[in-house]
Amino acid sequence: MSTTVVEVENLSFRYDKRLKENILSNISMTVDQGEWLAVIGPNGSGKSTLAQLLVGLIEADSGKIRIKNTVMDDTSKWKVRRHIGIVFQNPENQFIGTTVQDDVAFSLENLNMPYDEMKFRVDQALDLVGMSSLRHHDPSQLSGGQKQRVAIAGILALKPSILVLDEALVMLDPKSRRELLTVLQNLKRKENISILSITHDMNEAALADRIILLESGKVKNCGTSEQLFVAEPDLEPPFPELLRRELLKRNRNIPNEYMTEEEMVNWLCKSRLTV
């Protein structure tokens, strides 16, 4: 039986209290332990605002956020942040240490963690993201993908239950993006960590267990990638589905239903199709 680690109930927020229009209006959602939830939507739909609310960087006007059964408020947010961490679009804004390992250890030092435990957690976090060999490097001299790995390691060292990615992969080249997505899939499988990714990338969203579509600050739709991309034809689908639709237009004998990347690759190999 799954355990719910994030509960959002009728959440509303606006930056300018003088205006009546909300950035978010009556948002309700849940995230289970070990689940990957993607949040998509056009610019201005409230995606990044939702991420900031979930980690307590801003406070909701109304509604409730529960993280592992603790209601988020001004007094509980420091306790809640032990369970949830966020990685932003630009990882350099999160770097503090002069070496990779020092940066990952920084938050643990602030907790006055014993040295042996801190060393174990740093080693483990760097190993999880494949950065152990660069532990003595200056974070600012790393590639974009490596910087994001270090930022994720810094959060993982705190052993959170939930990892929030706020457009964390948007600035990466395709190769770095694919590598990091593989890292995240492995983390989800090995550590049973919950992932909530705010993204414009439909290929990233398609990897999630569920997708929430925000529009004008409200939940327009929610479901699996298959359910969402079938129900919302105006959404640009991930590449495998885009390819399937194009092949249908060319009257190729391809299944008339949504296909994941794995399903598309398997079908292409079996059919030996020349596009």
* CB neighbour list of residue 275: distance below 8 Å, 6 or more residues apart: 247
| CATH of region 4-232, choose from 3.40.50.720, 1.10.287.3510, 3.40.50.300, 3.90.1150.10 | 3.40.50.300
Q: Break the chain into its structural domains and give their ranges.
A: 4-232, 238-275
What is the residue-level pLDDT of the chain in tens, covering all 275 positions? 679 999 999 999 998 877 778 899 999 999 999 999 999 999 889 999 999 999 999 999 999 999 999 999 988 988 888 899 988 887 776 677 789 999 999 888 888 899 999 999 999 999 888 899 999 999 888 888 888 888 888 888 988 899 999 998 887 788 888 888 888 898 898 889 999 999 999 999 999 999 999 999 999 999 999 999 889 988 888 999 899 988 888 888 888 889 888 888 888 888 765 54
155 to 118, 146, 233, 260: CA distances (angstroms): 13, 15, 36, 30
Instruction: Give CA–CA dist 232/246, Å, rounded.
Output: 17
The amino acid that residue 211 corresponds to is I
Place of tokens 């909530």: 196
Strand-pair category, 62-67 with 70-71: antiparallel
Q: What is the dihedral angle through the alpha carbons of 187, 189, 195, 197, rounded to the nearest 10 degrees?
A: 80
Full-model pTM: 0.87
What pLDDT is recorded for position 272?
Answer: 67
Q: What residues pair up with 166 in beta bridges, in sequence order?
A: 198
Nearest one of 211, 229, 262, 215 to 36, comparing CA atoms: 211
DSSP 3-state assignment of 153?
Answer: helix
Rg (CA), the chain: 20
Place of tokens 């001299």: 141
Structure tokens at 7: 């509960």
Strand residues in the chain grouped as ranges (E): 4-13, 24-32, 36-40, 62-67, 70-71, 84-87, 162-166, 194-198, 210-215, 218-223
The amino acid that residue 176 corresponds to is S
